[in-house]
Amino acid sequence: MPLVSPWRAWARRSLWDVVPRDHRQQPRDLRRRQLVTVGFVVLGGIVLGISLRLEPGSPWFYPAALLLAGVWTVGAFASGPLHLGRIARGSASDLVRPVLPPVLLGLGLAGVFVAGALLVHSLSFLQPLEGQVVKVIGYADQGSLPILVFITAINGIAEELFFRGAAYAAITRHPVAWTTLAYAVATLATGNVMLSFAAVLLGVVVGLQRRASGGILAPILTHCTWSLTMLVALPLIFF
């Protein structure tokens, strides 16, 4: 029990205990944020679908990926103010910026996905799912790794700015569920089932972080840690 309790408290502070904050908006500002968010969800889904339908090695892949990051980032800041957020370090009044806990959560989430990838790779009846994974990581195998690391990080930041920043703040009821659904629907534009499945699991975790901390810093760090780990780990499993 002494070993379990600190980890349980750490998980509660990172994912469940909501810190006090006042981020209320006037009705007019909220309506504006909602309209901007809907418009950019549609636009981002279109760009995402185009970028991941390009052939691996295509010279248009990098510009398309950067364009997508630009769409999410512009949409986030155009919607209204964003907040970094805080979590409790010990007592409820001792609030700090979340840094190490989100990174550890990202690594843990990556570990779950790596275990799932090993299972998919080892079982023959899951071969159709393996094809979906290989299609995505084909970009990592074909492209320049330093550039891919940069683009992966930039897109992770941009997606969290938008979905856990702008979109989350635009939704007044059940924002964790709705932003996860919006993120999954936008990802469906790729036509890749495995990417959409990953978007749901990741969306729930970073959505809970957003709800607990009141800001985008924790979701950004978890998303980037997870995506960069997967960028390196998945090619080692499938290639």
- For the stretch 30-75, pLDDT in tens is 999 999 999 998 888 788 777 767 766 677 878 888 999 999 999 9
The DSSP string of the chain is -TTHHHHHHHHHHHHTPPPP------HHHHHHHHHHHHHHHHHHHHHHHHHTTSPTT-TTHHHHHHHHHHHHHHHHHHH-------EESSSTT-EE---HHHHHHHHHHHHHHHHHHHHHHH-GGGHHHHHHHHHHHHHHHHS-HHHHHHHHHHHHHHHHIIIIIIIHHH-SS-HHHHHHHHHHHHHHTTT-HHHHHHHHHHHHHHHHHHHHHSSSHHHHHHHHHHHHHHHHHHHHHH-
Q: What is the pLDDT of residues 93-125, one digit of tens each?
A: 778 899 999 999 999 999 998 888 888 777 766
Q: What is the pLDDT of residues 141-198, one digit of tens each?
A: 566 778 889 988 999 999 999 999 999 999 989 999 999 998 888 777 766 777 888 8
Q: Which has the higher per-residue pLDDT, 35 or 131?
A: 35
Across 213-234, average pLDDT: 93
Is the pLDDT at 127 greater than 70? The verdict is no
